[in-house]
Amino acid sequence: MNNSTYERKVDTKLPDSRDRSNYRQIISTASNQSTPLYPISSSTKSKGTVRSIVSTEYHQHKENIDSICESIFWEAKRENFEDGMKSKFSQNLISFIKKYSRDAIESITCLIVYEKMNPEIAGEALRWIGRIEHPDSYEFRRWLLERSIILPSALVRDGALLGIASMDDKHTIKYLKEAIDKEYCGDLKVDMIQVLEQLES
C-alpha cells in the first residue's frame, strides 16, 4: 500500500468515545487481572500495606516495560524496512508483545497514538501488530489498529490498514468505513475500500 506523506489533523485524545470499551477500561481490566509479582503473606502484612506494595511493584514493572518499549522503537531508527520482510525491529516487537502481552500494547499505544514515534516506524509496528498470533493481546491490538486508522500520518494509517487486513476481523468494518469517509489521500482511500471489500466478503 502506498506510503503517502499526506497528513491530516484529528483528535488524538484517548480514550475513543465510540461504541466500544474505551482504552482506560481495557487497561484497567488488564491491570486488575495482572498476577502479583511475588508471593505475599497475609500474616505479616496488613491489607493496606499489601495493596501499597503491590501497587508500587506494578508501577515499577510498568516503567520497566515502557523503557524496554522505547528502546525497541529507538533502535529501529537505524533500520531500513522492506515491505513484508522481517527485521530486527519486527522480531523484537513480536517477542516484546508475546512476553508482556497487554502491558506491552499499552506502552506501544502511548508511543503511536500520542505521536511520540517516527511515523515510518509506527507504521511498520502496526503492520506486524496485525500479523502476530497472540490471542491474549488480540482485543488490545485490534483496538490500537482501529484507532490508528484515523491518525494524522498517512504512513501510520497505511500501517494500520495493513494490520487490519492481516487480522481480517469483521469487527473492524464499522471503524474502517468511518476512516474511508474521512480519508482524503486518494491512493490510501482506494486501499481502504479494497480491505473493506475483503472484510465484507
Type of residue at 134: H
Tracing cell 495482572 back to the chain, one arrives at 34
Structural domain 23-33+46-200, CATH architecture: Alpha Horseshoe (1.25)
Question: How sure is the predictor about 130, in pLDDT bands with cuts at 50, 70 and 90?
Answer: very high
Bridge partners (DSSP) of residue 153 are 7
Q: What is the pLDDT of residue 62?
A: 79
How far are the Cα atoms of 10, 29, 33, 72, 198 from residue 79, in angstroms, in the given order? 29, 35, 36, 11, 31
SS3 37: coil
Check: CB of residue 130 under 8 Å from CB of residue 167: yes
Check: CB of residue 164 under 8 Å from CB of residue 195: yes
191 is written with which cell numbers? 486501499
pTM above 0.85, yes or no: no
Residue 84: partners with Cβ closer than 8 Å, 6 or more residues away:
none
- Over range 23-41, report the average pLDDT: 40
- pLDDT at position 76 over 90: yes
